[in-house]
Amino acid sequence: MTDPSAYRRRKQPDLVRRTLLDCAAKLALEHGLGAVTVQAVSEAAGVTKGGLFHHFPTKQALVEAVVTDLLAQVEADIDAAIARDPKPQGAYTRAYVASTLSDPLLPESGQWAALHISIIAEPSLRRLVAEWLSARVERHRDTDSGPVLEMVRLAADGAWLACFLREEGGPVPDIPALRDRLIAMTFAG
């Protein structure tokens, strides 16, 4: 029998979409992108498969939306850091380095490692991240286009990748000290 109140409830598509993204992200962080199945996300969100497909026409669209959502969160953090920085020259690079080399984003834990490997291994997701990075660099070209600032951002990426690729139990670089040195370089460049 159909729930009579179902016809009187207002649909909340934004809330359903947000719930689907959050559940998919949680599955990806806990078990890797391979765990993000239509069935698993639907069940976790309490939504039918049809409801999921209403918001995301394919599993790939859902996964790309999760990565896009993650990038939007990173961008919001970077923008907030830029807004707090009293010196506009190099502010994007300082915020990028701080974000890239912040503890939660480092791939030291298995949950982040699974998500990062999936993004690196999947061409469409890698392209999505590359486009996002290029757009950020272009957006901040007036304040962060010098060669020193570019090298600092690339060094942060390299440090992140070195942590990501290190052998389990292998030496861990002193990331806070490296982050501080890289940020100091932004004032000279």
How much of the chain, in percent, has pLDDT values that exceed 70? 86
What are the helix (H) ranges across 34-100?
A: 38-45, 49-55, 59-84, 91-100
Query: How many CB atoms are located within 10 Å of the residue 138 CB?
Result: 9
What residue ranges do the domains of the chain occupy? 5-185
Higher pLDDT pick, 71 / 172:
71
DSSP-based three-state secondary structure for 125:
helix
Specify the pLDDT at position 93: 97
Give the tens place of pLDDT for each residue, 109-168: 444 555 676 777 788 888 998 999 999 999 999 999 999 999 999 999 888 888 777 777
How far is CA 183 from each of CA 5, 76, 134, rounded to the nearest angstrom? 57, 19, 20
Cβ atoms of 180 and 155 closer than 8 Å: no
CATH code at 5-185 = 1.10.357.10
Banded pLDDT at 10 (limits 50, 70, 90): low
Specify the pLDDT at position 107: 52
* Average pLDDT rounded to a whole number, residues 99-106: 69
pLDDT at residue 189 is higher than 60: no
CA-angle at 164, arms to 20 and 75, nearest 5°: 50
Cβ atoms of 131 and 179 closer than 8 Å: no
How far is CA 64 from each of CA 15, 19, 74, rounded to the nearest angstrom? 18, 15, 15
pLDDT at residue 6 is higher than 50: no
